Structure formats: C-alpha cells, structure tokens
Amino acid sequence: MSTGPGTGTEFPKEPEQALGPRKHRKAPAKARKPASEPERASGAKRRGEGGRSDLSPWAKELWEWGRTLVIAVVVVLGLHYFVFSLSTVEGRSMQPTLYEKEWLFVNKLSYRTGSPGLGDVVIVKDPAPESEREDYLVKRIVGMPGDRIEIRQGELYRNGELVVEPYTDVLIEDEDFGPVDVPADHYFIMGDNRHASASRDSRSFQAVPRSAILGRADLILWPITQWAAL
C-alpha cells in the first residue's frame, strides 16, 4: 500500500499577533500622608523666619543701621555709667594744675574696684550747691578717713606733720583752720589754688562722704597741647 502525501497529521497554526511598541504601565499613584501638627508648625515657623527677606533693599539697610545704632547707644551709656565720663573744668580753684575749659577723662571703674587715695584729683558731687541745679566739683584729696587736718601759718598739716605740696605755687592765703578729724568713710578735699577765697572746699563744707565721689580724674584730654596725666 503506497502511502501518499498528507499521511502525517498537521495541526493548524494560530495566527501570530502583530508586534508593536510595548506600553509601559504607570505605577499606581500613592496617596501623600498628611503633614502632622509639628511638621505644619515648623513649616509655618520657617515661613515666618523668612519674612524679613521680603523687605526691599532700602528697608533692609535701614533695619541694619537702626539695630547698629541701638547697640552703640547701649554700649556707650554702659561705659559712661560704669567705666568713664568726660568732665569740663569750670572756675580757677584747681590752678595751676587745671585751667578753665579743659576736658578731663574721669575714671569711674577705679573706685568701683578700689578706694580713693591720698592726692587723687576727684570729681565730687557738690555737698552745698549754690543753686538748685546739681553741681560737681573737681578737687584734690588731702585727708583720708581718720586723719587730723590743720592749716596754720599758710601751710597744711596732716596728723601733726607738714605736708609738702608740689602741685601748689603759693602758701595758703586764707585764715588758719582746724584741727579737725576726718570721719570714717569721709575724705577731706581742697583745691590746688591756695590764693585767698580761690577755692570752696572741705574748709567750708567739711569732709565729703565716699558716696559723693564719682570718679578719679586721670587725664587732661583737651586742649591737645595740654594733654597730661594727673
């Protein structure tokens, strides 16, 4: 028996699908977690901190100048109150050491950390002002607490001993004074000008309390030609 073509069994082929570009599937969108209260608060804070960045350039400049000026004023006032001040000489009671209109550098810090000393030139609140306004005097300490002060025959004596005063140019022309004892925490002050009635000092208003002494005059600042340490 002859066999002819078609004896093998063939299965019909399925039609091939047409090839084309593959489409990428998008990942499903994830829901964003709502911000918690602390995160919202910090975000609001950050937005508030950046508020000044919205200022115009001239406003920023004005802000910086204003802040610098306030800081400078605070520093100067602090230094003036606690460390130093400037004082102008009025009158002739301290000649020949000081002359009218000279500017003095007054050291306040020295008496905040220490005590006045013999021979110091000091700025004192006038204990017997001649007017209603608050006046200040510049004088020299010649007597310490506990000292006995006396003036006789034109010369100053402290505790019975003659005081050599190189800062004066004449004997004391006023009348004799004392002896008097300087109370505790008080200082006997006089002007360097020893001419008659040239200085109003402890001979008229007695020794001054420590609290009345504002500071020590350390330098003559002006005029510049008279610059000198005291």
Is residue 157 in some structural domain?
yes
The pLDDT, as a whole number, for residue 56 is 80
Is residue 59 in some structural domain?
no
Is residue 33 in some structural domain?
no
The Cα–Cα gap between 76 and 192 comes to 32
Catalytic residues: 93, 139
Is residue 115 in some structural domain?
yes
- Give which of 182, 194, 122 is closest to 158, Cα–Cα: 182
Torsion angle of the four alpha carbons 86, 89, 90, 93, in this order, in degrees rounded to the nearest 10: 140
Query: CA angle, corner 217, sides to 133 and 141, nearest 5?
Result: 85
Question: Which residue positions in the chain have pLDDT lower than 50?
Answer: 1-24, 29, 31, 35-51
CATH number of the domain to which 200 belongs? 2.10.109.10
Is residue 46 in some structural domain?
no
100: containing domain: 86-229
The pLDDT, as a whole number, for residue 66 is 74
| Total of domains in the chain | 1
Is residue 62 in some structural domain?
no
Is residue 139 in some structural domain?
yes
- Burial class of residue 126, CB neighbours in 10 A (0-12, 13-18, 19+): middle
The pLDDT, as a whole number, for residue 19 is 43
Tens digits of residue pLDDT in 34-47: 544 444 444 444 44
The pLDDT, as a whole number, for residue 6 is 44
The pLDDT, as a whole number, for residue 227 is 87
Is residue 27 in some structural domain?
no
The Cα–Cα gap between 100 and 94 comes to 9
